[in-house]
Amino acid sequence: MSVTLARIEPSIAGVGDYVALLKPRVMSLVVFTALVGLLIAPGHVHPVIALTALLCIAVGAGAAGALNMWYDADIDARMTRTAGRPIPQGRVTPGEAAGFGLTLAMFAVVTLGLLVNWVAASLLAFTIAFYVVIYTMWLKRSTPQNIVIGGAAGALPPIIGWAAVTGGVAVEPIVLFLIIFFWTPPHFWALSLYRTEDYARAGIPMLPVVAGEAETRRQIVIYTLILAPLGVAPWFLGYAGPLYGIAAVATGAAMIVLALRVRAERQGHAASKQMFGFSILYLFLLFAVLLADRLWGGLAAQAVSHFAA
């Protein structure tokens, strides 16, 4: 019997490489939206429990990022935007990334379940599984609807944050979920419009690659027209004040104007780049103002009850 075994080189991966596997920028957005879900939820949770929940959600999101980089190492190597990641650069082996991601995912879910509650933990486990299995392994390479359906994973953190406090799910976090869900396609399609060659070289069927630029620009407008009213919904539903309402109307209108400019663009990608950049600011502003609105409302209510007493 002849057995040939590969020579295993000692790892040269540094701490920075493992941090990069966690996709810190994505993680920060996940933590921020989860924080909003957590803080707008009714009821009280001890700050230590809230911080623990956020930590678990952050680690879970990082684990999903590491598993995504493990599975997508082949296409990451072919794209300019991702070629510098630790696995394509050879600093981290795919096996190390997979082990790292699975370990963190398990720790995050079990810790969230044991220390906070199992509804939030189940939602976190579902989010990680959805992102890794449904989006990364299946949709990303097979359909231009990849980021539409896969966007659900990125939209779930406010629901997890809410569930960490209440132990359940309600309309309010579902509206936040829908905002992020409908924000994702115009955000990523604006990016893909000026990265079309990159995606085509990697064989990823993004909408501009498969259906062309004109169709992508049209779909950006459609999704933005759904997104803008959804952004105002928390005000209509009564769990955000007029400050939020004004901000949502103004930024939603700006998103529509930018989407129409993307639609009208014939040469270059200036409008697409502007749309991509502003879409990040849009989502951040919506959630930040909602948070400020709720915190301000809570402080005002406390002050009123204090003086009334």
Partner 1 sequence: MTIVSGAMDEVSPPPFPPPQAGEGQGGGIRLTEQQLRARRSRSIAIALALGAFVVVIFVVTLVKLGSNVLTRPM
Binding residues for partner 1, per CB under 8 A? 1-8, 10-15, 18, 46, 48-49, 52, 55, 107, 111, 115
Give me the least distance between CB of 5 and partner 1, in Å please: 4
C-alpha dihedral, 143 to 145 to 146 to 152, nearest 10°: -150
Give me the least distance between CB of 123 and partner 1, in Å please: 19
Task: Pick the closer one to partner 1 by CB: 100 or 282.
Answer: 100
State the DSSP H helix or E strand holding residue 45, giving kind and residue range, or none if neither.
none
Give me the least distance between CB of 51 and partner 1, in Å please: 9
Task: Pick the closer one to partner 1 by CB: 6 or 308.
Answer: 6
- Smallest CA-to-CA distance from 228 within 259, 262, 204, 191 is with 259
- Smallest CA-to-CA distance from 26 within 47, 57, 72, 71 is with 57
Task: Pick the closer one to partner 1 by CB: 3 or 308.
Answer: 3
Cβ(279)–Cβ(190) below 8 Å? yes
Cα(144)–Cα(137) distance, integer angstroms: 14
**Residue with tokens 């809570």, as numbered in its chain:** 298
Task: Pick the closer one to partner 1 by CB: 62 or 205.
Answer: 62
Cα(57)–Cα(127) distance, integer angstroms: 10
Task: Give the burial class of 186: count Cβ atoms within 10 A of its Cβ; 0-12 exposed, 13-18 middle, 19 or more buried.
Answer: buried
Cβ(54)–Cβ(38) below 8 Å? yes
Would you tell me how many other CB atoms lie within 10 Å of the CB of residue 203? 11
Give me the least distance between CB of 217 and partner 1, in Å please: 45
Task: Pick the closer one to partner 1 by CB: 49 or 174.
Answer: 49
Give me the least distance between CB of 150 and partner 1, in Å please: 29
Angstrom distances, CA of residue 136 to CA of 3, 70, 91, 160:
34, 10, 22, 21
Give me the least distance between CB of 101 and partner 1, in Å please: 15
Task: Pick the closer one to partner 1 by CB: 4 or 305.
Answer: 4
Give me the least distance between CB of 186 and partner 1, in Å please: 37
